Chains A and B, each alone.
Chain A
Amino acid sequence: MSQIKEITIGDVAKRSADGEEFSGETMALNIGPSHPTTHGVLRLMMELDGDVIKSARPVVGYLHRGDEKIAENMTYNQFVPYTDRLDYLAPLANNVAYAIAVEKLAQLEVPERCQAIRVLCCELARISSHLLGVGVYGMDAGAWTVFMYTFTQREKLYTLFEELTGARFTTSYTRIGGVARDIPDGWLGRVSDFCDQVLPVLDEVDKLLTRNRIFMDRTEGVGTISKEKALAYGMTGPNLRASGVDLDLRKDRPYSGYERYDFDVPIGTRGDCYDRYLIRGEEIRQSVRIVRQVIDQFPDGAYYAEDAKKIFAPQKAKILTSMEELIQNFMIVTEGPRMPEGEVYFEAENPKGALGFFIVSKGGGVPYRLKIRGPSFCNLSILDDLLPGHYLTDVTVILGSLDFVMGECDR
Chain B
Amino acid sequence: METITEESLTAKFDYLTPRPSSDHTAYNCPSAHLREFVWALRDEHGYDLLLDVTAIDWDAATPRFTGVYHFYSTARHVYLRVAVDCADNVNPTLPSLADIYPAANWHERETYDMLGIVYAGHPDLRRILMWDAYPYFPLRKDFPLAGIQTELPAADVAESTKAKVKSAPMMGGPFVSKRPGPMSEAEPRALDESWTEQSEKPAENTSRAD
A residues near B, CB below 8 A?
60-61, 64, 66, 68-70, 73-75, 78, 104-105, 107, 231-234, 236, 245-247, 252-253, 333-336, 340, 342-347, 354, 356, 358, 360, 364, 366, 368-369, 371, 373, 377-378, 380-382, 385, 410-411
Contact = CB atoms under 8 A, between A and B. Distances in A.
A335 B81 contact: no
A358 B70 contact: yes
A335 B21 contact: no
A360 B130 contact: no
A69 B142 CA distance: 11
- Give 6 closest A-B pairs by Cβ, nearest first: A234-B103, A342-B22, A74-B174, A61-B129, A381-B106, A252-B77
B102 interface: yes
Interface string B6-22: 00000000000001111
Given A69-B138, A73-B174, A104-B22, A410 B102 contact: no
Given A343-B81, A366-B176, A381-B106, A66 B138 contact: yes
A354 B51 contact: yes
Interface string B21-37: 11110100000000000
Given A343-B22, A343-B81, A378 B106 contact: yes
B52 A373 contact: yes
A388 to B, nearest CB: 14
A253 B23 CA distance: 13
Interface of B: 19-24, 26, 48-52, 54, 56-57, 68, 70, 74, 77, 79, 81, 101-103, 105-107, 110, 114, 127-131, 138-139, 143, 145, 173-174, 176-177, 179, 186-188, 191
Contacts of B101: 232, 234
A345 B52 contact: yes
A302 to B, nearest CB: 25
B128 A61 contact: yes
A127 B24 CA distance: 30
Contacts of A231: 48-49, 74
A345 B25 CA distance: 11
21 contacts: A60-B128, A61-B129, A70-B174, A74-B176, A104-B23, A105-B22, A234-B51, A333-B188, A334-B186, A335-B179, A336-B176, A342-B20, A343-B22, A343-B23, A364-B179, A366-B176, A369-B56, A371-B52, A373-B70, A377-B110, A378-B107
Nearest to B70: A345
Contacts of B128: 60-61
A336 B110 CA distance: 29
Q: Please indicate which of the listed interface residues B51, B173, B179 has the most CB atoms of chain A within 10 Å of its own CB.
A: B51
Main secondary structure of the interface of A (DSSP, over half): mixed
Nearest to A335: B177
B103 A335 contact: no
A232 B50 CA distance: 8
Which among A73, A234, A378 has the highest number of chain B CB atoms within 10 Å? A234
Given A232-B102, A344-B23, A68 B139 contact: yes
Given A233-B103, A247-B49, A334-B188, 13 more contacts: A60-B129, A61-B128, A69-B138, A69-B139, A70-B145, A73-B145, A232-B102, A342-B20, A342-B21, A343-B19, A343-B23, A345-B79, A371-B54
Contacts of B77: 252-253
Given A253-B77, A342-B22, A346-B23, A234 B176 contact: no
A333 B174 CA distance: 12
B188 A344 contact: no
Given A232-B103, A342-B21, A347 B139 contact: no
A383 to B, nearest CB: 10
Residue of B22, B79, B102, B145 with most chain A CB atoms under a 10 A cut-off = B22
Contacts of B127: 61
Contacts of B143: 69
A356 B52 contact: yes
Nearest to B134: A61
Given A107-B22, A345-B70, A373-B51, A64 B188 contact: no
Nearest to A364: B179
A377 B106 contact: yes
Contact of A358 (B48, B68, B105, B174): B68
Nearest to A334: B177
Contacts of A385: 102
Contacts of A66: 138
Contacts of A334: 177, 186-188
Contacts of A246: 74
Given A64-B129, A69-B145, A246-B74, A343 B20 contact: yes
B145 A381 contact: no
